[in-house]
Amino acid sequence: MNRVNKNLPIWLAQSENYSDYIECRPHFLRRALSEITKVFQNEFLAEKYEKYDGLLQIIDPRVKILVLLFYIVFASAVFSIFVKILIAAIGLLFAVMSKLKLSDFLRRVWCYLPPVLFILSLPAAINLFSSGTPLIYLSKTFYFTLSGIRTALRVSLTCGISLSFVYLIFATTRAVQIEKALRALKLPDVFVSILSMAYRYIFVLASEAIKVIEARFLRTVGKVKSKDERRFVSHSIASVFLKSKKLSGDVYDAMCCRGFTGKAVSLNELKFGIQDFIFTCCNVIIVLILLLGVYAFGW
Amino acid sequence: MHIPDGYISPAVSVPALAAMVPVWGAALNKTKKLVGRRQIPLLALYAAFSFVIMMFNIPVVGGSSAHAVGAVFAAIALGPWPACVSISIALLIQALVFGDGGILSYGLNCINIAVIMPFTGYAVYRLIAGKNTSFSKRSAAGAFIGSYIGINAAAFAAAVEFGIQPLIFKTASGAPLYCPYPLSVSIPAMMFTHTLFAGPLEAVITATALALVSKYAPDMLCKNISAGIEHNINENKSSRRKIIAAFAVLVLLTPLGLFASGTAWGEWGLDELKADLGFIPQGMAKLSDLWHGLLPDYSFEGAPEKLVYSISALIGTALIFTVILVTSKIIMHIKKADKS
Q: Is position A297 within any domain?
A: no
List domains and CATH numbers for chain B. 10-222+234-338 (1.10.1760.20)
Query: A183 and A38 in one domain?
Result: yes
Query: A195 and A163 in one domain?
Result: no
Average pLDDT, chain A: 82
pLDDT in tens, B75-134: 888 888 888 988 999 899 888 877 788 888 999 999 999 999 999 999 999 999 887 666
Q: Is position A285 within any domain?
A: no
pLDDT in tens, A51-66: 778 889 889 999 999 9
Mean pLDDT calculated for residue range B312-323? 80
- Give, in order, the Cα–Cα distances in Å from A297 to each of B185, B246, B306, B314: 37, 41, 10, 12
Among B192, B200, B196, B203, which residue's Cα sits nearest to residue B71?
B203
Q: Say whether B334 and A289 touch across the interface (CB within 8 A).
A: no
Q: How many residues does chain B have?
A: 340
Residue in chain B lying closest to A254 (CA): B41
> From its phi and psi, is residue A130 left (phi > 0), alpha (psi between -120 and 50) or beta?
beta
Query: A180 and A41 in one domain?
Result: yes
CB nearest B330 (choices: A131, A278, A293): A278
Percent of chain B scored above 70 by pLDDT?
A: 69
Q: Say whether B53 and A170 touch across the interface (CB within 8 A).
A: no
Q: Is position A280 within any domain?
A: no
- What three-state secondary structure class fits B67? strand
Residue where one domain finishes, among candidates A132, A149, A172: A172
Q: Is position A274 within any domain?
A: no
- Exposed, middle or buried by CB within 10 Å (0-12, 13-18, 19+), for A81? middle
Query: A190 and A109 in one domain?
Result: no
pLDDT at position B340 over 90? no
A41–chain B Cβ distance below 8 A for any pair: no
CA distance B146 to chain A (A): 16
Residue A98 DSSP symbol: T
Predicted pLDDT at B264: 37
Q: Say whether B175 and A231 touch across the interface (CB within 8 A).
A: no
Q: Is position A52 within any domain?
A: no
Query: A156 and A74 in one domain?
Result: yes
Predicted pLDDT at B64: 53
- What three-state secondary structure class fits A130? coil
Which residue type sits at A284?
V
In chain B, which residues have their Cβ closer than 8 Å to the Cβ of A166? 95-96, 99, 103
pLDDT at position B250 over 60? no
Q: Which of residues 223-262 of A touch B (CB under 8 A)?
A: 226, 229-231, 233-242, 244-245, 247-249, 251-252, 255, 260-262
pLDDT at position A281 over 90? yes
Percent of chain A scored above 90 by pLDDT?
A: 23
Question: B233 pLDDT band (50/70/90 cuts)?
Answer: very low
Q: Which residues pair with B65 in a beta bridge?
A: B59
pTM for the predicted model, two decimal places: 0.78
Residue in chain A lying closest to B50 (CA): A241
Predicted pLDDT at B189: 87
Query: A164 and A180 in one domain?
Result: no
- Give, in order, the Cα–Cα distances in Å from B190 to each of A84, B156, B184, B200: 29, 7, 11, 14
Q: Say whether B327 and A36 touch across the interface (CB within 8 A).
A: no
Q: Which of B56, B270, B330 to mutate to test the interface with A (most CBs of A within 10 A)?
A: B56
Mean pLDDT calculated for residue range B255-261? 41
Please say whether the beta carbons of B24 and A249 come within 8 A. no
Residue where one domain finishes, among candidates A172, A193, A214: A172
Q: Is position A293 within any domain?
A: no
If one compares A285 and B297, the residue with the highest pLDDT of the two is A285
CA dihedral A81, A87, A88, A93 (to 10 degrees): 150
pLDDT at position B263 over 80? no
Q: Which of residues 38-57 of B touch A (CB under 8 A)?
A: 38-49, 51-53, 55-57
Q: Say whether A130 and B176 touch across the interface (CB within 8 A).
A: yes
Query: Which range, A99-103, A239-243, A250-254, has the best average confidence (pLDDT)?
Result: A99-103
B288–chain A Cβ distance below 8 A for any pair: no
Q: Which of A204, A211, A237 to mutate to test the interface with B (most CBs of B within 10 A)?
A: A237
Q: Which of residues 150-209 of A touch B (CB under 8 A)?
A: 150-152, 154-159, 161-163, 166-167, 169-170, 188, 190-191, 193-199, 201-202, 204-206, 209
pLDDT at position B142 over 80? yes
pLDDT in tens, B293-305: 444 444 445 556 6
- What three-state secondary structure class fits B252? helix
In chain A, which residues have their Cβ closer than 8 Å to the Cβ of B47? 194-195, 198
Query: A156 and A71 in one domain?
Result: yes
Comparing A26-40, A239-253, B65-79, B201-215, which segment has the lowest mean pLDDT?
A26-40
Residue where one domain finishes, among candidates A107, A140, A172: A172
Q: Which of A179, A233, A250, A277 to mutate to test the interface with B (most CBs of B within 10 A)?
A: A233
Query: A30 and A86 in one domain?
Result: no
Q: Say whether A154 and B177 touch across the interface (CB within 8 A).
A: yes
The helix or strand, by DSSP H or E, that contains position A144, with its residue range, turns out to be strand A143-145
Mean pLDDT calculated for residue range A140-150? 86
Q: Domain residues for A100?
A: 58-172
Please say whether the beta carbons of A71 and A91 come within 8 A. yes
Q: Is position A266 within any domain?
A: no
Comparing A12-21, A264-273, B128-137, B269-278, which segment has the lowest mean pLDDT?
B269-278
Predicted pLDDT at B235: 47
Percent of chain B scored above 90 by pLDDT?
A: 16
Q: Say whether A76 and B175 touch across the interface (CB within 8 A).
A: no
Query: A155 and A181 in one domain?
Result: no
What number of C-beta contacts closer than 8 Å exist between A and B?
Answer: 335
CA distance B47 to chain A (A): 6
Mean pLDDT calculated for residue range A159-186? 88
Query: A160 and A80 in one domain?
Result: yes
Query: What is the C-alpha to C-alpha distance for residues B58 and A9, in angstroms, rounded to an integer?
Result: 39
Which residue type sits at B36?
G
Q: Is position A281 within any domain?
A: no
Between B218-233 and B199-216, two packed helices, what is the crossing angle to 10 degrees? 110
- Overall number of domains in chain A: 2
Q: How many residues does chain A have?
A: 299
Mean pLDDT calculated for residue range A170-194? 85
Predicted pLDDT at B305: 67
pLDDT at position A1 over 50? no
Query: A127 and A83 in one domain?
Result: yes
CB nearest B6 (choices: A58, A156, A274): A156
Query: What is the C-alpha to C-alpha distance for residues B10 and B17, in angstroms, rounded to an integer?
Result: 10
Mean pLDDT calculated for residue range A21-29? 53
Percent of chain A scored above 70 by pLDDT?
A: 83
Mean pLDDT calculated for residue range B12-39? 84
Predicted pLDDT at A200: 82
Among B13, B179, B27, B11, which residue's Cα sits nearest to residue B95?
B13
Mean pLDDT calculated for residue range A150-155? 90
A124–chain B Cβ distance below 8 A for any pair: yes
Query: A154 and A71 in one domain?
Result: yes
- Give, in order, the Cα–Cα distances in Å from B211 to each of A279, B207, B214: 55, 6, 5
Question: B256 pLDDT band (50/70/90 cuts)?
Answer: very low
Query: What is the C-alpha to C-alpha distance for residues A154 and A76, in angstroms, rounded to an integer?
Result: 9
Average pLDDT, chain B: 75
